[in-house]
A and B are shown apart, each in its own frame.
Chain A
Amino acid sequence: MPAACRPGTAVAAAVVIGVAVVLGWRSMQRVVVAVEAGTPGGPLLGPRVRAWYKQAIGPVEDALVAWGVHPDALTWAQLGVSVLAGAAFAAGAVFLAGWLVIAAGTLDVLDGGVARRTGAASRHGALVDSLVDRYAEFATFLGLGAFFRRSWVLAAVAVACFGSLMVSYTRARAEGLGLTMQEGSVQRPERYVILGFGAWLSGLVAHLACALRGTPTHAVLAAAVVLLALLSTWTAVQRARHAVRKLDGNGRP
């Protein structure tokens, strides 16, 4: 829970975020994508949003490449930031945790981009990246669980954590059987967005409502966690059904 009600700071943060959203929306309209509509069963974040975000963090990627930063360093930094996000959740610093989740997601995008551009992409790096991603997600969910330890939302955190791991496991298992698996409404970027945006928005609402009601509320974060639990589970089932259909179509031994 917030240490103190700070509605003034919350309003200032909301204004800064509002300006950033307007500027971001305007630049997103200028992004040209080959295919506008998302594919059925494809990720919730469409190609325009993904292209815009890659463009927005492009200068950071350029700087990292120019400085010769190794992609493995970014992967480990992602784990460190995710642990910090989990610690922030556990300490009740929800707004901070939300932005740390978004920072971790950005590092997750950057490590792959830097690896491809520097020619450092390798099977070893791909394996380490996948494993670190799971630990990073778990660290964040652990902190989130500590935050909701006395609430029914803890059950939703557990389902969201398991669902997120199952989304990745289903893909890994299917690809181990020789299938390609790009389907899934809520993949890792969507999970970062739902949790990160849900958390910082909840932090703002908590401080604003705290001034009006006298007590803070994190209903927004609870709703985001429930949404994440539902969508992650749905995506894991969606992928499993798709994999089974493909295997049946290919003919089982």
Chain B
Amino acid sequence: MSALGPLGFLLVMLGFGLRLDTDWQGTAWVLLAAGAAAVAIAAAHRLGAPRAFVSTEGGE
């Protein structure tokens, strides 16, 4: 599920690329929407994941 984060980010960037420099505006919006959805799902999945008991700040 967390693979969706980097893949979603790439889709968003490709969508911006098509929107900026090509006439493929429809495809650009599809990529932007799909990428944003993938990033949102990955973020929601990460927030819902159980946290470790061990402190991430270091020390005992």
> Which residues of chain A have a CB within 8 Å of any CB of chain B?
2-3, 6, 9-10, 12-13, 16-17, 20, 30, 56-57, 59-60, 62-63, 88, 91-100, 103, 200, 203, 207
> Which residues of chain B have a CB within 8 Å of any CB of chain A?
1-3, 5-7, 9-10, 12-14, 16-23, 56
Q: Which residue of A lies closest to B23 (CB)?
A: A3
A96 and B5 in contact, given A3-B23, A30-B56, A103-B10 (Cβ under 8 angstroms): no
User: Which of the residues B5, B10, B12, B21 comes within 8 Å of A59, measured between beta carbons?
Assistant: B5
By a CB distance below 8 angstroms, the chain A residues around B14 are 96, 99-100
Q: List 22 A-B contacts (CB under 8 A).
A: A2-B21, A3-B22, A9-B16, A13-B20, A16-B13, A59-B1, A59-B2, A59-B3, A59-B5, A59-B6, A62-B3, A63-B3, A88-B17, A88-B21, A91-B21, A93-B20, A93-B21, A93-B22, A94-B21, A95-B16, A200-B13, A200-B17
Chain A, interface SS category: helix
Contact B20 A60 (CB under 8 A): no
Contact A60 B17 (CB under 8 A): no
Closest A-B pairs by Cβ, 8 of them: A96-B17, A93-B21, A59-B2, A59-B3, A13-B16, A63-B3, A99-B13, A95-B17
Contact B6 A12 (CB under 8 A): no
Give the CA-CA distance A57 to B21 in the complex, in Å.
27
A60 and B21 in contact, given A13-B13, A200-B13 (Cβ under 8 angstroms): no
User: Which of the residues A6, A59, A63 comes within 8 Å of B20, measured between beta carbons?
Assistant: A6
Q: Which of B5, B6, B17, B56 has the most CB of A within 10 A?
A: B17
Contact B12 A16 (CB under 8 A): yes
Give the CA-CA distance A62 to B1 in the complex, in Å.
10
User: Which of the residues B3, B5, B21 comes within 8 Å of A203, measured between beta carbons?
Assistant: B21
Give the CA-CA distance A252 to B60 in the complex, in Å.
58
Contact A91 B22 (CB under 8 A): yes
Contact A9 B22 (CB under 8 A): no
By a CB distance below 8 angstroms, the chain A residues around B9 are 20
Contact A9 B19 (CB under 8 A): yes
A96 and B22 in contact, given A9-B16, A13-B16 (Cβ under 8 angstroms): yes
By a CB distance below 8 angstroms, the chain B residues around A59 are 1-3, 5-6
Q: Which of A62, A63, A94, A99 has the most CB of B within 10 A?
A: A99
Contact B23 A203 (CB under 8 A): no
Contact A99 B17 (CB under 8 A): yes
Give the CA-CA distance A100 to B11 in the complex, in Å.
10
Contact A96 B3 (CB under 8 A): no
Give the CA-CA distance A56 to B6 in the complex, in Å.
8
Give the CA-CA distance A12 to B16 in the complex, in Å.
9
